[in-house]
């Protein structure tokens, strides 16, 4: 018996069909993996994150910067006389008073100039004494001439008085009496000239004395100047404080006005803070500041805001108004916190890592029993040093994770374990 053979038609798989099957398999795999990842919620230990609770109340905006204490009263001791440094008697860090000798200079030329000025002063004083004696003699001669003229005039007047009645009786001739009267007028004129000459001579004497005395004063001033310059070769502090710096070495030549040392008052300090430029726009003068010296706190006020920006920072001068803690000294590193603003009745949290003021962020917000956290969009407001204002997205009492959670950015929720 013949059995019929049934021929099966072979199915042919085309390349386009293979490509479609491959793409479909990949889509199924992606959908499966995504669903699997959603189910696999990551777990975080509560001790490994920083949890902050939303608070409502007064929000204090603060700006913080680092800096140093500097003297508010500094004096540079400059050389009043040129000279060579012979000795340095005090080292930086020593406490000095007004009369503490810091260094000694020498200048042989000044000593020589002083000696020359002393000799010239002695000569001028001697010339003054000689001139005074000479002028005094001339004055006495003038007084003698005036006296003689007065006596001659009196004699002529007496003679005229005696001859007048005789001339009236023709006992004395008219010519002789006229000569007597003429002699009286002559003596009177001579006396007037002598008096004018005496006054003129007195003016000349006074002028000569003034000139010679001025010459004496000139040499006295020169002597005093050189003596002052020689005394200035001994450099004193002229202020009570701490010697901070010596700017010269032994043997060095110093010109007039050259800085030799710097002295600061240790009881008169201020703080210089470096504040980031993006935090300075709200600062104003007289804002309260708290300075931390690592050994205590002291209050202060903002007194100057430098208009320049250097290396991304702005220099702020702070006047210290409180009692300085022990150990406070110039160049001591400090931290300053400036109170910028007090915002009443607002929500705020500890400042999350990497957040900026007036921005939007996403934070994991914990559930009521704090075993689960869900990613939530948060609107932030003004920022402070360690806290930031919350505008929207949170309520009073909510707990959020403020530590760095960037590794969980792909997850909308995480599980919290104790």
Q: Where are the domains of the chain?
A: 43-70+266-417, 74-106+233-264, 108-231
Strand 43-45, strand 413-417: pairing: parallel
Tokens describing residue 338? 């400036």
Is domain 43-70+266-417 in CATH 2.40.30.170, yes or no?
Answer: yes
Q: Give the pLDDT score at 19.
A: 60
Q: Give the pLDDT score at 22.
A: 63
Higher pLDDT, 146 or 224: 224
* Arithmetic mean of pLDDT, 212-236: 90
Higher pLDDT, 359 or 157: 359
Does residue 113 surpass a pLDDT of 60? yes
Contacts of 415 (CB under 8 A, 6+ apart): 41, 42, 43, 44, 371, 372, 373
Lowest mean pLDDT among 64-78, 108-122, 164-178: 164-178
Does residue 266 surpass a pLDDT of 80? no
In angstroms, what is the C-alpha Rg of the chain? Answer: 53
Residues in the chain: 418
* Arithmetic mean of pLDDT, 36-63: 82
| Sheet-wide strand order for 253-254 | 234-236, 101-106, 83-88, 253-254
Does residue 342 surpass a pLDDT of 70? yes
Query: DSSP assignment of 153-222, as one string?
Result: HHHHHHHHHHHHHHHHTTSS-HHHHHHHHHHHHHHHHHHHHHHHHHHHHHHHHHHHHHHHHHHHHHHHHH
Lowest mean pLDDT among 38-52, 254-268, 286-300: 38-52
In three-state secondary structure terms, 35 is helix
Tokens describing residue 134? 């000479």
Higher pLDDT, 155 or 235: 235
In this structure, is the dihedral angle defined by the CA atoms of residues 33, 36, 41 and 43, taken in order, positive or negative? negative
pTM, to two decimals: 0.56
Is domain 74-106+233-264 in CATH 2.40.50.100, yes or no?
Answer: yes
Q: Is 15 left (phi over 0), alpha (psi -120 to 50) or beta?
A: alpha
Does residue 273 surpass a pLDDT of 90? yes
* Short-list 69, 94, 84, 79, CA closest to 245: 94
Q: Give the pLDDT score at 37.
A: 44
* Arithmetic mean of pLDDT, 38-48: 77
**CA 161-165-167 angle, 5° bins:** 100
Does residue 30 surpass a pLDDT of 70? no
Q: Assign 9 a pLDDT band (cuts: 50, 70, 90).
A: very low
* Arithmetic mean of pLDDT, 288-297: 91
Are 255 and 82 in contact, with CB atoms under 8 Å apart?
yes
**How crowded is the C-beta side of 401, counted as CA atoms within 13 Å?**
28
pLDDT per residue as tens digits for the range 54-72: 999 999 989 999 999 988 8
Q: Give the pLDDT score at 26.
A: 61
Lowest mean pLDDT among 12-21, 229-238, 312-321: 12-21
* Arithmetic mean of pLDDT, 372-400: 90
* Arithmetic mean of pLDDT, 204-219: 84
């Amino acid at each position: 018996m013949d059995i019929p053979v049934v021929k099966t038609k072979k199915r042919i798989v085309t390349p386009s069909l293979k490509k479609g099957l491959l793409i479909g398999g990949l889509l199924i795999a992606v959908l499966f993996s995504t669903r699997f990842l959603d189910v696999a919620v990551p777990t975080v230990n509560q001790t490994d994150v920083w949890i902050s609770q939303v608070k409502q109340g007064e929000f204090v905006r603060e700006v913080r910067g680092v800096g140093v204490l500097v003297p508010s009263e500094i004096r540079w001791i400059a050389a009043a006389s040129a000279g060579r440094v012979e000795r340095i008697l005090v080292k930086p860090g020593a406490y000095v008073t007004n009369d503490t000798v810091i260094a000694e200079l020498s200048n042989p030329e000044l000593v020589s100039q002083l000696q020359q000025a002393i000799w010239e002063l002695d000569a001028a004083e001697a010339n003054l004494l000689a001139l005074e004696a000479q002028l005094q003699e001339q004055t006495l001669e003038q007084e003698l001439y005036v006296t003689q003229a007065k006596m001659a005039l009196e004699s002529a007047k007496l003679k005229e008085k005696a001859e007048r009645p005789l001339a009236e009786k023709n006992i004395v001739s008219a010519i002789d009496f006229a000569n007597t009267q003429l002699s009286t007028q002559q003596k009177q004129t001579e006396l007037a000239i002598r008096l004018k000459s005496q006054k003129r001579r007195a003016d000349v004497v006074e002028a000569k004395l003034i000139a010679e005395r001025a010459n004496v004063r000139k040499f006295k001033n020169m002597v005093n100047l050189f003596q002052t310059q020689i005394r200035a070769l001994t450099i004193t502090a002229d202020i009570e404080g701490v010697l901070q710096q010596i700017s010269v070495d032994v043997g060095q030549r110093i010109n007039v006005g050259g800085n030799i040392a710097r002295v600061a008052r240790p009881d008169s300090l201020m703080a210089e803070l470096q504040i980031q430029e993006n935090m300075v726009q709200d600062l104003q003068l007289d804002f309260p500041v708290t300075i931390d010296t690592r050994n205590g706190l002291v209050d202060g006020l903002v007194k100057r805001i430098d208009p320049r920006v250097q290396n991304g920072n702005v220099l702020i001068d702070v006047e210290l108004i409180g009692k300085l803690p022990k150990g406070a000294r110039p160049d001591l590193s400090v931290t300053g916190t400036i109170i910028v603003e007090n915002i009443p009745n607002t929500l705020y949290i500890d400042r999350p890592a990497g957040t900026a003021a007036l921005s939007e962020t996403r934070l994991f917000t914990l559930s009521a029993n704090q075993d689960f956290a869900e990613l939530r969009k948060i609107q932030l407001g003004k920022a402070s040093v360690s806290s930031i204002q919350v505008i929207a997205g949170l309520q009073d009492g909510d707990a959020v994770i403020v530590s760095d959670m960037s590794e969980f950015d792909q997850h909308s929720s995480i599980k919290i374990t104790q």
